[in-house]
Amino acid sequence: MAPCSIDPSSCSETDEPPPPAAAPRPAARKRKAPKAPKAPKAPKAPKAPKAPKAPKARAETASAPVPPQPKRQSTIGAWLGLTPPAAVPVPAEGYLVVDLFCSIGGVSAAAKALGHTVVLAVDVEQWRLDIHELNHPQAKHVNMALGPDTQEKLVELIEAAVPADQRHRLWIHLSPPCQTQSKLQAMEFWSSIEERREKKGVGLRLVRWALDFLVLYDPPQFSFEEVDDSKQMVRAELHRIKRAHRALLDFDLFNTADYGVPQNRRRVIAARPATMRALRHAPALKAAKKVSLRDALGPLGTIPDEAHWYHGPNHVFPKPEKMLPCPQVAGKWSDGTAHCHLLEYCAPSMTTHVTNWLREDFSYIRRLSGVETQVLCGFDMDFVWPAKISRSKMLAGAGNAVPPYFAQKIFRAASIDVAF
């Protein structure tokens, strides 16, 4: 056998390969040398002061002295540069009043009480004109539906009643029928929605015509009265006229209770801007305190001794177990449908609905009499009624009329100059 040629020293007990050689270490990173510090900036040189401006040369002639500026309104009129409207003195002989949509004559009664003369009264219902004629026999009474179709005839009637040389005494009042605009109209559940819309449309057309007639005829003095409808369509018509004829007309919402009438009756009034300014702000026109039911009717001696509540103005009688005080109106209790008022507070707005006296437990005593309704509506005791007239017509006539005591304040406002 041939001898082995492998060196025994190169053999090992195992056949494993030798371990790999260690990887070389990465070279160390060189550190950057620190930057040299920046040299400090040289300070800026201070700016040279500006030379003062030379004063402007004044004119050799002195300017004219500024005249004193007139007092301005404390409203938006001040921003627009408008001077306050001036009041017009009452004519020595008084106003010649034309009462349109006159009803029984609330405004006419006020004019008569202040010494003015009613020369023309127009209404579409004859029974109202008959009552008006009993109290103003000197006036001409015309049963006529007012509107665009009768406008020419109306102008002829006014010019016949007020001669041209007396036109400065003319005062025209307009009260278009308010029943179609009032909130109670929406409660007429016995009429259809179409019927109510038609009535409201007729009423609004009369309002629009009345305002357009005032613009066309431009009387020296006038007044306009209407209810504040829930959708404020009447105010929208008034805004239309005011924007186009700011010097002719102004308007606002008033509560007659603030002027001494014993009922909370809110109405929109429009008149000459000077009249409206005084009606808003003249302290002499406003009542020192509101007149309560007991204050107004106490002197008559007709309030029942056991009367505790004034109930109305609707036909629904209260449910005693559900009656609760109304936080919005002092002295008012309600069950959600029927309304009652304590006698120590103002009455609600009088309407054509029945009103009653009730005991403390809300039990019925009796209805209010015609005379009691007349007084609460602001009519004097010397107002003349026909010998035979139903209580419902007395209530309808007085309830729909402008309270005469409030109408007196409108007449007086026309001659009061309010300064601020």
pLDDT at position 87 is 81
CB within 8 A of 135, min separation 6: which ones?
A: 104, 105, 108, 109, 112, 383, 384
Q: Do 138 and 279 share a domain, yes or no?
A: yes
pLDDT digits (tens, 9 = 90+) for 165-210: 999 999 999 999 865 444 444 444 444 556 555 555 677 899 999 9
Whether the Cβ atoms of residue 365 and residue 304 lie closer than 8 Å to each other? yes
Query: What are the structure tokens assigned to 162, written together?
Result: 């007020």
- Is 200 part of any domain? yes
Q: Do 181 and 210 share a domain, yes or no?
A: yes
CA gap 196, 180 in Å, rounded: 8
- Is 39 part of any domain? no
Q: Do 328 and 282 share a domain, yes or no?
A: no
pLDDT digits (tens, 9 = 90+) for 302-313: 999 999 999 987
CA gap 224, 217 in Å, rounded: 14
- Is 11 part of any domain? no
- Is 61 part of any domain? no
> Which stretches of 218-257 are DSSP H helices?
233-244
CB within 8 A of 141, min separation 6: which ones?
A: 121, 122, 129, 132, 133
pLDDT digits (tens, 9 = 90+) for 22-50: 555 655 565 666 666 676 676 676 676 66
313 cis-preceded (ω within 30 degrees of 0): yes
CA gap 207, 176 in Å, rounded: 6
Q: Do 131 and 274 share a domain, yes or no?
A: yes
Query: What are the structure tokens assigned to 272, written together?
Result: 């000459």
Q: Do 93 and 168 share a domain, yes or no?
A: yes
CA gap 241, 341 in Å, rounded: 38
Query: What are the structure tokens assigned to 106, written together?
Result: 């609330």
CB within 8 A of 166, min separation 6: which ones?
A: 96
Q: What domain count does the chain have?
A: 2
Query: Strand 96-100 vs strand 117-123: parallel, antiparallel, or unpaired?
Result: parallel
Region 313-338: mean pLDDT is 89
CA gap 366, 283 in Å, rounded: 39
Q: Burial code of 43-55, b = ≥16 C-beta within 10 A, e = fewer? A: eeeeeeeeeeeee
- Is 42 part of any domain? no
Nearest alpha carbon to residue 99 among 129, 61, 59 = 129
Query: Strand 170-174 vs strand 140-143: parallel, antiparallel, or unpaired?
Result: unpaired
Q: Where in the sequence is the domain holding 378, given as residue range(s)?
A: 293-397
Q: Say which DSSP state 14 is in.
A: S
> Model-level pTM?
0.76
Tell me which of 307 and 392 has the higher pLDDT: 307
pLDDT at position 177 is 87
Q: Do 267 and 369 share a domain, yes or no?
A: no
pLDDT for residue 136 is more than 90: yes
Nearest alpha carbon to residue 341 among 260, 263, 414, 396 = 263
Q: Do 131 and 250 share a domain, yes or no?
A: yes
Q: Do 161 and 207 share a domain, yes or no?
A: yes
Query: What are the structure tokens assigned to 268, written together?
Result: 């929109």
pLDDT for residue 129 is more than 90: yes
Q: Do 210 and 297 share a domain, yes or no?
A: no
Average pLDDT value for the chain:
83
Q: Do 322 and 260 share a domain, yes or no?
A: no
Q: Do 371 and 408 share a domain, yes or no?
A: no
- Find tokens 């009474």 and name the residue: 141
CA gap 120, 122 in Å, rounded: 7
Give the highest mean pLDDT range of 4-18, 61-75, 303-317.
Answer: 303-317
Q: Do 283 and 297 share a domain, yes or no?
A: no
pLDDT at position 51 is 65
pLDDT at position 72 is 39
CATH of the domain at 127: 3.40.50.150
Phi-psi region of 22 (alpha: psi -120 to 50; beta: other; left: phi over 0): beta
- Is 73 part of any domain? no
